[in-house]
A and B are shown apart, each in its own frame.
Chain A
Amino acid sequence: MNTKSTFCGSNDHRLNRRGFLGLSAAAGVSAFADMTGLDALSNSALAGELKKDQKRVIMLWLAGGSSQLETFDPKPGAPTGGPFRSIQTAVPGVHISELMPKLAARMQHTCIIRSLNTKNGDHGGAAKLMMRGRRDEAVVKYPDLGAVMAKEMGRADSKVPDYVTFYTQTEGRMAGDSGFLGSRYAPMELTTNNQPPDIRKLDGISELDHVQRADLRELMSKQFSQGRPNKVLGSHNEAYQRVRGLMASEKLFDVSQESAKTRDLYGRSQFGEQALIARRLAEAGVPFIRVARAWWDSHGQNFETHQEMVPELDHVMAALIDDLKDRGLLENTMIVTLAEFGRTPGINSSLGRDHFASAWSCSITGGGIKGGVAYGKTDANGNKVVEGEADAAKLYATIYSALGINPHKNYYLGSRPVPLVEPGTEAIKELVA
């Protein structure tokens, strides 16, 4: 079987093409058969099943900036502590907010970093920083974690997307960004509902015609490609080769494929359903899925907001941990719960908390991260980091290390080497399993 002459390798497809080339196939073949090795890349990657150690990341993005004091770094009794209590977790000595009882019971799987000092307290800039671990330069636009994962863990011929992002609310919406890695690694963005855009065939064209016009496109494009070896051209053809596979992945986005029990486990909220889809995608081999939940920007009524939103987060995190664990996926799937920054310990006049990037927290679970650890420390009122300070680069070095990606590896922008994380930054060793 010559897989080179078909784009998806399926027998149906081969028949379809013969169908339209029909008896005069010989003529077509003489002109078009000798295709260049453009899909060599796909062929080499076709070989393996999902590698056992292929890591995936589900990022829960708390857009707007959740409060560390009402989640991972409570300060009960301090003037800045707010109204809530802290509770003992499954790990002796580690306490988190009373708003997260379910995570507390699963603390042995999770690590908390309480010592982020990331300096940027502006939504846009901080979100870019925390999604990339780096600050853009004039000519170097860094890829975000999703794009890096798509590049590191995605496969050229994959029938599922490499990078999916849900951002249904409009507040603070930030598109995924593959930076200098280019649109090959750009995400599939879901902003209006849980169905990806343009994944379903229009009604006006039959299944067969849809396939065959794509064959026609490919045939002529390959003819053009002869004698024109070019990376961008290769990516163009490859993108079209992936269309049918991606269309087949539509049902991954359909939660009704899951049992009522599983759906209840995640909860029927939008956030819960998107987290469930994220699990479905991770299971199918999608390397990176981000589920954004907005809008945590509680300048007013911080405590009511967190009283409402943290239990939902708690529930979704617990559901993901349990479900991934039950399916044996937790070891290779990392849940990153992260925002662009935390919130001021000081409680403002509207009983809110404002942007604060000097001493805040995030959490990482699974996928090569050591569970049951609370790393770093802030002072009694939560104003400053007093132990284990980590900036965005250090956080990313840790994430990459845990995922088995060398944080010091270089990408090449033309001839320019671009290290994955800020040079001189080391991972937090205590957190890498």
Chain B
Amino acid sequence: MPPTTPAPAKGTLKAAKPIPVSQQLCGIEYSPKGDMLVAGTFEGGIRRWKVTPAELTDLPPLAGHNAWVQCVAFDSKGERFFSADSWGRVNAWSADPVQTKPLWSVADAHSTWIHAMAIHPKAEFLATAGRDNIIRLTDPATGKEIRRWEAGDDVLAMTFHPSGLSLITGDLHGLIKEWDHSTGKLKRELNAKQMFLHDRLQDVGGVRCFAWNADASMLFAGGCQPKSGGFVQGFNLVIGFDWVSGQAKMNHKTTNEADGYVLDMHWNPDGFLMAVTSGQPGQGKLIFLKPGEAQPFQSYPVPNAHSLAIHPDGKRLFVSATNANSSGNGRQLGKDKEYPANTSPLHGFEFVG
């Protein structure tokens, strides 16, 4: 989630030709200045692109992670960004495209997979959480641990309140917890249990992403209402909570069980949510959703979208997706008699007019 609020979007949305990327990507993020796009990969790396209105230019990739780099986030000034991987490492990087060495690196910030990361609005804290059920508060300047406490569950999504007064986590079992991060004390819990299902002896679902509206009076939680485990089927689900009362005021659920998860979303100052959905193979969408309306007012197919980056000018956005034919039993050997690798094309969109 970008810490800055993009300018209002106007006009109609035009899709650009998807840009091929030779790897599978996890999260993508714009720099607050809008001049750089970064993405974590499945291969322990970070990809960077220089952004101009006309094109994306590859910058040297960053090494120093292992396996999946699911979380990337800039601080509000845009001088640094942070990344976290599935082996438990957190790195800090300079936003200067020439720098390829981490500012600091903590190999064992967590004992295992880091699922969620959030940066404090004033960049006082970096929060991370994951499969080890630990919330870790890190000093963004040094990487030093400030505090750690038990989250009580596998945290899948995280955000600071825009006031910077509390930290909010969303977990596998559909609980949203508000924490006093200065003490690690739990302040209250909000219920999003619709996002969880125990099916076929498996835990399925969980809160996958958060967004705030412009005045932070509403917190939106995104995920799905699972229908079955195994081959996960579920309906898109976004629940909007009135932040003061903690009451759920909005409940957007789609009718197609193949829609899957809402995996990333952002608030548009024009008063709607922009979200991407995972879907079953070949499906998935970019949707625009007004609180209170049953159906998205706009919807664009983007196969198996998993992350959404909004340019600070509010006019441009990128959705990272997955190449077609990435799914399939057995897989077919390619022309070179090798199994083809999967990739994540970047789908660019622009509001014109």
A contacting B, Cβ–Cβ less than 8 Å: yes
Within 8 A of A (CB), among B298-343: 303-304, 306, 321-323, 326-331, 338-342
Choose among A270, A307, A347 the residue that contacts B42 (Cβ–Cβ < 8 A): A347
Is A121 interfacial (CB 8 A cutoff)? yes
CB-CB under 8 A from B303, the residues of chain A are 349
- A248–B205 Cα gap in the complex (Å)? 44
Partner of B342, one of A295, A348, A384: A348
Range class of the B interface residue count? 35 or more
B114 CB → nearest A CB, Å: 9
Interface stretch (choices A44-52, A80-88, A203-211): A80-88
Contact between chains at B67 and A82 (CB < 8 Å): yes
Number of A-B contacts (CB under 8 A): 141
**Is B68 an interface residue when CB atoms closer than 8 A count as contact?**
yes
* Distance, CA A171 to CA B284, complexed state (A): 26
Smallest CB separation, B302 vs chain A (Å): 11
Chain A residue nearest in CB terms to B70:
A83
How far apart are the CA atoms of A301 and B131 in the complex, in Å?
Answer: 15
Interface residues of B in 16-66 (CB under 8 A from A): 23-24, 42-44, 66
Interface centre among B203, B279, B329 (most CB of A within 10 A): B329
Q: Is the CB of B327 within 8 A of A348?
A: yes
B201 at the interface (CB under 8 A from A): yes
Q: Is the CB of A348 within 8 A of B281?
A: yes
Chain B binding surface SS class: loop
Asked if B67 and A85 sit within 8 Å, CB to CB, the answer is yes
Q: Chain A interface: which size bin?
A: 35 or more
Cα distance, A348 to B85, chains bound together (Å): 19
Contact of A171 among B87, B230, B326 (CB under 8 A): B230
Known A-B contacts A121-B330, A297-B230, A357-B330; A305 and B202 likewise in contact (beta carbons under 8 Å): yes
In the assembled complex, B232 has its CB within 8 A of some CB on chain A: yes
The answer to the question of A212 belonging to the interface, with a C-beta cut-off of 8 Å to chain B, is no
**Distance, CA A182 to CA B328, complexed state (A):** 37
- The answer on a CB contact under 8 Å between B328 and A350 is no
Which of A79, A85, A269 is the one whose CB lies under 8 Å from B87? A85
Interface residue? B251 (CB, 8 A): no
Q: Which residues of A contact B23 (CB under 8 A)?
A: 79
Q: What are the residues of chain A within 8 A of B85 when measuring CB–CB?
A: 83
| Chain A residues whose C-beta falls within 8 Å of the C-beta of B68 in the assembled complex | 82-83
* A121→B201 contact, CB < 8 A: no
Contact in complex: B331, A346 (CB < 8 Å): yes
Q: How far is the CB of B232 from chain A (nearest CB, A)?
A: 4
Chain B 273-289, CB-CB to A under 8 Å as 1, else 0, gives 00000111110100000
Asked if B112 and A305 make an inter-chain contact with CB atoms under 8 angstroms apart, the answer reads no
Whether B231 lies near A356 (C-beta < 8 A) is no
Q: Do A350 and B260 touch across chains, with their CB atoms under 8 A apart?
A: yes
**Contacts of A357 on B, CB cut-off 8 Å?**
330
Point out the residues of chain A lying under 8 angstroms from B339, CB to CB. Answer: 344-346, 381, 383-384
Q: Are B66 and A76 in contact (CB under 8 A)?
A: yes
Task: Give the distance to chain A from B83, nearest Cβ to Cβ, in Å.
Answer: 14
A169 at the interface (CB under 8 A from B): yes
Which of B87, B327, B330, B340 lies in contact with A358, CB distance below 8 A? B330
For A82, list chain B residues within 8 Å (CB).
42, 67-68
CB-defined contacts of B280 to chain A, threshold 8 Å: 300, 350
- On whether the beta carbons of A350 and B278 are closer than 8 Å, the reply is yes
Q: Is the CB of A349 within 8 A of B281?
A: yes
Interface 0/1 of B193-232, CB less than 8 Å to A: 0000000111110000000000000000000000001111
Least CB distance, A277 to chain B, in whole angstroms: 17
A64-B230 in contact given A270-B201, A347-B24, A349-B303 (Cβ < 8 Å): yes
Q: Are A77 and B260 closer than 8 Å at their CB atoms? A: no
Known: A300-B231, A346-B339, A350-B280. A79 touches B202 (CB 8 A): no
Whether, in the assembled complex, B236 has its beta carbon less than 8 Å from a beta carbon of chain A, the answer is: no
- Name 29 interchain pairs, CB-CB below 8 A, sorted by A: A76-B66, A77-B44, A78-B43, A79-B342, A81-B42, A83-B113, A84-B67, A171-B200, A294-B200, A304-B203, A305-B229, A305-B230, A344-B329, A344-B330, A345-B339, A346-B339, A349-B278, A349-B281, A349-B303, A349-B304, A349-B326, A349-B342, A350-B278, A350-B280, A351-B306, A354-B329, A356-B330, A356-B331, A383-B339
Please provide the 10 A-B residue pairs with the shortest distance between their CB atoms, ordered closest to farther: A83-B86, A349-B304, A349-B322, A355-B329, A348-B327, A300-B232, A83-B68, A121-B330, A295-B230, A383-B339
